[in-house]
Amino acid sequence: MQNIKEKPKILILCTGNSCRSHIAEAILQKALGEFADVYSAGSNPAGYVHPMAIQVMKEIGFDISNHRSKHLNEFLNTQIETVITVCDNADKNCPFFPGQLNRHHFPFEDPARAIGSDEEKLTVFRKVRDQIKIMFEAYAAGRIDRAKASGLKI
């Protein structure tokens, strides 16, 4: 097992840090397990985690009710190895973090902007959650495969 001090830190950014980044954080942390520490933040945090994001994550066995909306500045003095943006605005306004080796952009629709009835909005949240799950589980599998190929015990 990798030494805890050596675990890479991955930061997932979006603008509001209320939906997509929290969904991605939870899914990626579970997929990577002890291999990495995963965080999320926003360039203009909403100040809350969207209740529908909490609800749709609970539907698939994740409890993100204890997450909080954070500003990316909280991480400027953290050795972030990888930054992943999940919205175009965060991608355009993403700062460089000291020690950052990797940057990826995986854009997703903002479910917080969904219109219609609560059920119609939940349908959008579920669709985005499922897209994020596919993308971030594949990303985690690739990282784990590369680490194993380089001789790291996971």
> Is residue 51 over pLDDT 70?
yes
Kindly state whether residue 75 falls inside one of the protein's structural domains: yes
State residue 59 phi and psi, 5-degree precision: -60, -25
Kindly state whether residue 79 falls inside one of the protein's structural domains: yes
Kindly state whether residue 154 falls inside one of the protein's structural domains: no
Kindly state whether residue 153 falls inside one of the protein's structural domains: no
CATH value at residue 82 = 3.40.50.2300
pLDDT tens digits, one per residue of 12-24: 999 999 999 999 9
Q: What is the structure's pLDDT at 154?
A: 58
The domain tally of the chain equals: 1
> Is residue 152 over pLDDT 90?
no
Q: What is the structure's pLDDT at 2?
A: 44
The residues carrying an active-site annotation are 14, 87, 94
Mean pLDDT, range 51-78, rounded to an integer: 96
pTM: 0.91
Kindly state whether residue 15 falls inside one of the protein's structural domains: yes
How is the chain split among helix, strand and coil, in percent rounded to 5?
Answer: 45, 15, 40
pLDDT tens digits, one per residue of 79-108: 999 999 999 877 777 667 777 789 999 999
> Is residue 1 over pLDDT 50?
no
Q: Could you please report the per-residue DSSP string of 102-124? A: EEEE-----GGG--SSHHHHHHH
Residue 56: which domain range? 4-147
